[in-house]
Amino acid sequence: MTSYEAVVVGASTGGLRALRTVASALPANFAAPVIAVLHISPSSDGYYVSYFQDSCRVRVKEADEKEQAVSGWLYLAPPDYHLLIEDDGTFSLSTGERVSFARPSIDVLFESAADAYCPGLIGVVLTGANSDGSSGLKKIKKYGGLAVVQDPGDAEEGFMPQAAISSTEVDYVLGLSEMGPLLKRLVGEKNGK
């Protein structure tokens, strides 16, 4: 059985609610870091961190440059920065060109995470109105990771999940309420799997 080292998540339109539904189902001692990109306003004031803290048992913060990703945390890409994972599991922030009209870009996170963590990586694509995340999820799958996508019919905006399904051989297509329990089952809990 594969031991998963990290979970990466991408969401756009409707993503705050969707990610909160998934993350709030995870235990405080979830045995991997959850690293997420949400398409949010570049001028966001960070309110979304407290939005997640209020309902999640995992700890929540914006990712910092050179910070080590550790289990039991939900890391969020800061507004207007691409979030990348280095080979040593630390974060790198970039103000490089927008990808799929977005910064942060889901593809940028997913592709760098595939290099760092695969095959021990789970990629999750949630609701959204563009195709960001599709090529990154394809790379995760190609490198031996697991691909999970929200059921387009369950999503506030189904285009992004559908784009991911169309471009990748997906392992699971699930409703939001099923995702947290699946991740808990696949990843387990630290010191008590």
Residues belonging to the active site? 12, 39, 132
Q: What end-to-end distance do the CA atoms of the chain give, in Å?
A: 13
Distance CA 176, CA 83 (A): 24
Type of residue numbered 42: P
Per the CB < 8 A criterion, the answer to whether 173 and 151 are in contact is yes
In sequence order, the 6+-apart residues with CB closer than 8 A to the CB of 35 are: 6, 7, 8, 9, 63, 69, 75, 77, 83, 85, 109, 113
* Rounded-to-integer distance, Cα 83 and Cα 101, Å: 15
Provide the 10 A C-beta neighbour count for residue 89. Answer: 16
Place of tokens 């909160």: 20
In this structure, the chain runs to a length of: 193
Instruction: Please say whether the beta carbons of 155 and 163 come within 8 A.
Output: no
